[in-house]
């Protein structure tokens, strides 16, 4: 874990190194992924089953790729009622927020009498990837499938790995609640390839969404263009801005909540209070003694964690804009000025009673967010990932008379004679009709 102070002479160099080190640790998996995708594209179900059986220690066949409705029902029956209630709380809140996002169509007539507009339509089908390796994530099912369902996508297919053949009942319950129409027991790059290219069993989709490991991320990168994708998700990250009026243990747990995801995750505390910095560092060490996922969290904290002491909260906000984190917590007395100053963050959690974990499960906004500084230019998952806009123009004779000559002039200037003539012949016909 790095301890930095913004007043130290080499702070800028050390800060840049902090941001760059995690990128340099990322393993290259493009070669193996290319081979997997080529095999799935060529041999379909046979390759899909071979890779799945090898990597997940299963024995599936094309006939057993799909998880049946009976299996889903049986799994859901095993979920304790209290967990189903919690799942419903989360699903209802996520659904409500994403319904509020839905845009309206637009149509108007301009001064030239031309009707202009834009309409939104849902994708026909999407493929949802759900991780199933180090941990199971029913919350990711809700966050990816519910926006698609709200947007009106008719077919939502889900791929989830089942290591050793084990199904996760809560994941399947989440899928049923979220409107998933097909579920397949496959994961990894081969699942992305199946959803992108299609096999005899899994029909191709229009967009692939959902987080995964390095192989899944690389597979999504390679199939982009054949299908749409949401993003190339990297390891999770959080920045916590905290003043001295916090419980150090609460802040430590917020940092470790990200660190326990993955050894490559990154947790950063920024504080103007050197005493709080010291207390949080000690609290992190104490929690790592008892945390069930301490091995993962410790690896993340030791390799990529940081505590940065700054002059003031304005400086803290400026550092956040450089980091452009996936998650930002504002654990400070008066968060609004800092909130207003931050331009780049995937999601912001405002106030001492809003830890990032609320957003992971029951907040409402999506927890699929831009990572690895991509919040500088991209946004989290939303209904907009599952709809597309089509513009339209309707022009009558008088409108063409008004705006057509300008189109002819511009087309001729570009040397596109057919463009110019396609307008000019209509204008000539209108002139002849007078």
On whether the CB atoms of residues 401 and 430 are closer than 8 A, the answer is yes
On whether the CB atoms of residues 301 and 259 are closer than 8 A, the answer is yes
- Catalytic residues, which ones? 326-327
* Cβ atoms < 10 Å from Cβ of 318: 14
H or E element: which one contains 420?
helix 417-433
* Residue 168 marked as a ligand binder: no
On whether the CB atoms of residues 328 and 248 are closer than 8 A, the answer is no
* Residue 327 marked as a ligand binder: yes
- Rounded-to-integer distance, Cα 192 and Cα 198, Å: 10
On whether the CB atoms of residues 232 and 239 are closer than 8 A, the answer is no
- Rounded-to-integer distance, Cα 217 and Cα 90, Å: 26
On whether the CB atoms of residues 317 and 343 are closer than 8 A, the answer is no
One DSSP character per residue, 132-147 reads -SSS--HHHHHHHHHH
- Rounded-to-integer distance, Cα 377 and Cα 203, Å: 32
* Residue 419 marked as a ligand binder: yes
Report which DSSP code applies to 64. Answer: G
Record the tokens describing residue 384, joined without a space: 């907009």
Q: How far is CA 178 from the centre of its chain?
A: 17
Record the tokens describing residue 276, joined without a space: 């709080």
- SS3 (DSSP) at 310: coil
* Cβ atoms < 10 Å from Cβ of 50: 15
* Residue 236 marked as a ligand binder: yes
Record the tokens describing residue 22, joined without a space: 């995690």
* Residue 190 marked as a ligand binder: yes
* Residue 314 marked as a ligand binder: no
- Rounded-to-integer distance, Cα 142 and Cα 131, Å: 13
Three-state DSSP string of 310-338: CCCHHHHHHHHHHHCCCEEEEECCCHHHH
* Residue 129 marked as a ligand binder: yes
- SS3 (DSSP) at 66: strand
* Residue 245 marked as a ligand binder: no
Binding residues for Zn(2+): 258, 261, 360, 419
Binding residues for substrate: 236, 258, 261, 327, 360, 414, 419
Binding residues for NAD(+): 129, 190, 213
Binding residues: 129, 190, 213, 236, 258, 261, 327, 360, 414, 419
């Amino acid at each position: 874990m790095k301890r930095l102070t913004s007043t130290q002479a080499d702070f800028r160099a050390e800060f840049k190194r902090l941001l760059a080190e995690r990128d340099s640790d990322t393993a290259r998996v493009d070669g193996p992924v290319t081979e997997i995708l080529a095999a799935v594209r060529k041999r379909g179900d046979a390759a899909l089953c071979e890779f799945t059986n090898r990597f997940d220690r299963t024995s599936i066949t094309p006939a057993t790729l799909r998880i049946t409705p009976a299996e889903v029902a049986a799994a859901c029956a095993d979920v304790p009622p209290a967990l189903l209630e919690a799942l419903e709380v989360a699903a209802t809140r996520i659904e409500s927020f994403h319904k509020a996002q839905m845009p309206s169509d637009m149509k108007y007539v301009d001064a030239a009498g031309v009707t202009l507009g834009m309409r939104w339509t849902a994708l026909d089908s999407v493929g949802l990837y759900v991780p199933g390796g180090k941990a199971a994530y029913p919350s990711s099912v809700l966050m990816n499938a519910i926006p698609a369902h709200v947007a009106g996508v008719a077919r939502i297919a889900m791929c989830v790995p089942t290591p050793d053949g084990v199904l996760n009942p809560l994941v399947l319950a989440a899928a049923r609640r979220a409107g998933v129409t097909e579920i397949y027991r496959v994961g990894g790059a081969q699942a992305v390839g199946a959803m992108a290219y299609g096999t005899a069993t899994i029909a191709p989709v229009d967009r692939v969404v959902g987080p995964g490991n390095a192989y899944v991320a690389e597979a999504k990168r390679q199939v982009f263009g054949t299908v749409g994708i949401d993003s190339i998700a990297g390891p999770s990250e959080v920045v916590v801005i905290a003043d001295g009026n916090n419980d150090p243990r609460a802040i430590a747990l917020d940092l470790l909540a990200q660190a326990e995801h993955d050894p490559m995750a990154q947790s950063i505390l920024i504080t103007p209070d050197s005493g709080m910095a010291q207390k949080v560092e000690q609290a992190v060490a104490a929690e790592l003694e008892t945390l069930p996922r301490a091995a993962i969290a410790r690896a993340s904290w030791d390799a990529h964690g940081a505590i940065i002491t700054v002059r003031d909260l304005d400086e803290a906000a400026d550092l956040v804009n450089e980091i452009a984190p996936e998650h930002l917590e504002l654990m400070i007395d008066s968060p609004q000025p800092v909130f207003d100053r931050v331009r780049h963050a995937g999601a912001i959690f405002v106030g001492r009673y809003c830890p990032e974990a609320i957003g992971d499960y029951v907040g409402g906004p999506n927890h699929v967010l831009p990572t690895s500084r991509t919040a500088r230019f991209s946004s989290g998952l939303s209904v907009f990932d599952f709809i597309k806009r089509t513009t339209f123009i309707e022009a009558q004779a008088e409108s063409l008379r008004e705006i057509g000559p300008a189109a002819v002039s511009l087309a001729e200037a570009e040397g596109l004679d057919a463009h110019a003539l396609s307008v000019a012949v209509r204008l000539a016909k209108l002139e002849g009709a007078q």
